[in-house]
């Protein structure tokens, strides 16, 4: 993604640059519009609101960061859409004053804001679960969660329960193994896909209020459940999987513990999204825009688009196991259907593997079109984010061309 390439020519580059620098262009408005579309898809679903932070540009101990949240269907893993996004601009940090400030004045308040935003955007959902990694292990995140939200958070900190009492980590290590669990661990940079055997431990815990810092209007303790899952026999040279999860869900048996683990594993969706936003797709880290305002505008637009690309990738195989086909309106306008169908008819070949196997009106049908536009032949492997992104961009360019042609015809 480059301004010159997006502009198409020198005149287009100048127009786009002026647009990105216009005071009326607001990244918050972009994400609010995307969240409004997500809200319309949440009814009667269990929505996983998955949040995380990624670097946009770093240097000198600070930089620009994007905190993002996406909605995922808990039942079939389909990406519903973007929920929240905000930028964090850091200089050299304020670690020395962290304990002297209330949570509202800390950068970590973003995790609480994300949960509040999920409760608002996904209000029509059957249930909402906010999922986050270790940075979200904050006492106030548990005590101030919205009433319609549960939490599954990876633990970051040990806690003391008082003199002569084992700490939280020591207590977790002493728990008996309640059950074993097997699943396939997906590949990621530096790690191959592998089958993992894991031991599950769990217990109810009451976290005490931290002694240091400012804690206004929070209880002295909060009752949660700890789920400890660790790999029993990792391959030689591999770091074993070990997750300690704190959750507001009741966990009184191995089945409930396994259900919490299954929810946390959905967090992988936001890791894939960030890869699409970066080296596997839009490559935002390579942008050479020095001014933070136009950079933020362009990155937020890319984030919204990256969610659509991931929706297409997830839909390429049709309906997920136990799920249903997502409608085309998850990622396209209803008026896009005729152009998608025209492209499908043109791109189909003579063999069965070169035919669009998905029903018209489904997101899988549109994903097949974008994959073919992006260069996928239908024979070798599955189309990934880069192929899907290229095809989606070609479709958008064609859509603009049709719009211009129709406008010219109206003018004549």
15: which residues sit within 8 A by CB, 6+ positions away? 7
Are the CB atoms for 231 and 240 separated by under 8 Å? yes
Nearest to 262 by CA among 77, 404, 30: 77
Phi, psi of 40 (to 5 degrees): -70, -10
Q: Determine the 3-state secondary structure of 234 from DSSP.
A: coil
Rounded CA-CA distance 395/393 in Å is 5
CA 311 to chain CA centroid, nearest Å: 11
The number of helices, as runs of H, and strands, as runs of E, in the chain is 12, 9
Q: Which residues of the chain have pLDDT under 70?
A: 1, 60-61, 92-100, 213-214, 410-412
Rounded CA-CA distance 69/118 in Å is 8
Are the CB atoms for 284 and 58 separated by under 8 Å? no
Rounded CA-CA distance 371/374 in Å is 5
Q: What pLDDT is stored for residue 213 in this prediction?
A: 65
Q: What is the pTM of this model?
A: 0.90
CA 250 to chain CA centroid, nearest Å: 25
Vertex 393 angle, CA 389 and 395, to 5° = 115
- Domains, in order of start, for the chain: 3-311 (3.90.350.10), 316-410 (1.10.740.10)
Cα dihedral value 236, 241, 242, 245, nearest 10: 180
Are the CB atoms for 200 and 229 separated by under 8 Å? yes
Are the CB atoms for 248 and 150 separated by under 8 Å? yes
Rounded CA-CA distance 355/344 in Å is 8
Rounded CA-CA distance 136/233 in Å is 29
What are the start-end ranges of the H helices in 146-195? 168-174
With tokens 């940090």, the residue in question is 93
CA 262 to chain CA centroid, nearest Å: 16
pLDDT, tens only, 114-141: 999 999 999 999 999 999 999 999 999 9
Q: What pLDDT is stored for residue 286 in this prediction?
A: 86
């Amino acid at each position: 993604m480059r301004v010159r390439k997006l502009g198409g020519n020198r005149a287009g580059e100048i127009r786009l640059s002026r647009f990105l620098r216009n005071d009326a262009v607001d990244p918050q408005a972009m994400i609010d519009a995307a969240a409004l579309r997500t809200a319309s898809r949440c009814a009667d679903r269990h929505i996983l609101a998955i949040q995380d932070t990624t670097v946009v540009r770093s240097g000198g101990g600070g930089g620009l960061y994007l905190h993002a949240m996406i909605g995922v269907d808990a039942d079939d893993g389909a990406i519903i859409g973007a929920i929240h996004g905000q930028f964090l601009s850091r200089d050299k940090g304020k670690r020395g004053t962290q304990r002297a400030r209330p949570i509202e004045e800390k950068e970590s308040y973003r995790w609480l804001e994300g949960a509040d935003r999920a409760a608002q955007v996904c209000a029509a959902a059957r249930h909402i679960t906010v999922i986050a990694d270790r940075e979200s292990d904050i006492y106030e995140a548990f005590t101030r969660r919205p009433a319609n939200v549960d939490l599954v958070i990876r633990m970051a900190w040990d806690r003391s329960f008082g003199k002569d009492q084992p700490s939280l980590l020591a207590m977790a290590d002493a728990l008996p193994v309640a059950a074993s669990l097997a699943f396939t661990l997906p590949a990621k940079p530096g790690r191959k896909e592998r089958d993992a055997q894991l031991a599950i431990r769990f217990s109810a815990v009451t976290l005490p209020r931290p002694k240091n810092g400012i804690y206004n209007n929070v209880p002295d303790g909060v009752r949660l459940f700890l789920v400890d899952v660790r790999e029993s026999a990792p391959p030689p040279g591999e770091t074993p999987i070990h997750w300690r999860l704190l959750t507001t869900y009741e966990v009184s048996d191995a089945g409930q513990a396994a259900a919490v683990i299954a929810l946390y594993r959905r967090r992988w969706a936001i890791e894939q999204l960030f890869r699409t936003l970066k080296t596997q797709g839009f490559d935002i880290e390579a942008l050479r825009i020095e001014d933070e305002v136009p950079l933020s505008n362009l990155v937020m637009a890319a984030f919204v688009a990256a969610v659509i690309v991931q929706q297409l990738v997830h839909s390429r195989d049709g309906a997920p196991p136990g799920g249903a086909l997502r409608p085309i309106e998850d990622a396209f306008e209803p008026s896009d259907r005729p152009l998608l169908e025209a492209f499908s008819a043109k791109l189909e070949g003579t063999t069965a593997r070169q035919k669009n196997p998905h029903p018209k009106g489904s997101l899988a049908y549109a994903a097949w079109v974008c994959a073919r536009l992006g260069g996928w032949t239908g024979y070798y492997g599955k189309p990934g984010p880069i192929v899907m992104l290229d095809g989606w961009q070609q479709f958008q360019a064609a859509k603009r061309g049709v719009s211009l042609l129709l406008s010219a015809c109206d003018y004549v």
